[in-house]
Amino acid sequence: MANTNTTVVVQPMQPQTQHVIVQQTNQPNACRAAIPSMHIAMAVTCLILNIFLPGIGTIVAGFAVFCCANPGQSDGGKVGTFCLNFWVGILQLFLTLFLVGWIWAIIWGTVMIAMSADYHNPGTLTTMTTGTVVTNSTVVNTQQMQVTQPPQQGYNQPPQQGYNQPPQQGYNQPPQQGYNQPPQPPSYDMGAPPQEKY
């Protein structure tokens, strides 16, 4: 019997399209109830007033609730927002002496500009995302029944390089030497008379 090696290549699947729909709805919260959402021009005007006259821009924003801010809010809600902004503006005005009111007024005016997006888009925001999923082909070797994936393309992470510790450099003790006596000084014979050199 001959040993044959059969390889089967599975065709890649057709790309599949996926649709994702995201709906975002502005839920009422304390920040939306306290800071009026108004036209961007009015919000910038209130911020400028809060920079130069801390608290005045917040009071003006409170009055703006009745004519040009918070569309769709009930009359009771508008009165509550007006009262809150009026008293916050008064506190900002008095706390300016301690610099806290000035910083608070600038932050309040900045948030008014951020809330102006609600004025321009008060309803539900719907986003639709479309994507395509592509799968790789798979090679099957029927004799060994192993599945082999083709190599992935993309970023290949470099191999990990560990910390190589340098060789130990300890104290090398000098070789042991025995006790050596110091050399003997020359001896002088005192009994012989000195010789004269001419």
Q: In whole angstroms, what is the distance from residue 138 CA to residue 119 CA?
A: 53
Average pLDDT over residues 1-22: 63
**Count of CB atoms situated within 10 Å of the CB of 37:** 24
Q: Where are the domains of the chain?
A: 26-127
Lowest mean pLDDT among 22-31, 56-65, 126-135: 126-135
Per residue in 32-67, pLDDT (tens digit) is: 778 988 999 999 999 999 999 999 999 999 999 999
Q: What is the mean pLDDT of residues 123-127?
A: 57
CA gyration radius, the chain: 45
How far apart are the C-alpha atoms of 187 and 82, rounded to whole Å? 119
135-173 pLDDT, tens digit per residue, is: 444 444 444 444 444 555 555 555 566 666 666 666 666
Task: List the 146-148 sheet strands across, edge first.
Answer: 7-10, 138-141, 146-148
How confident is the model at residue 137, as a pLDDT? 45
Backbone dihedral angles phi then psi of residue 172, each to the nearest 5 degrees: -95, 120
Confidence of residue 20 (pLDDT cuts 50, 70, 90): low
pTM: 0.50
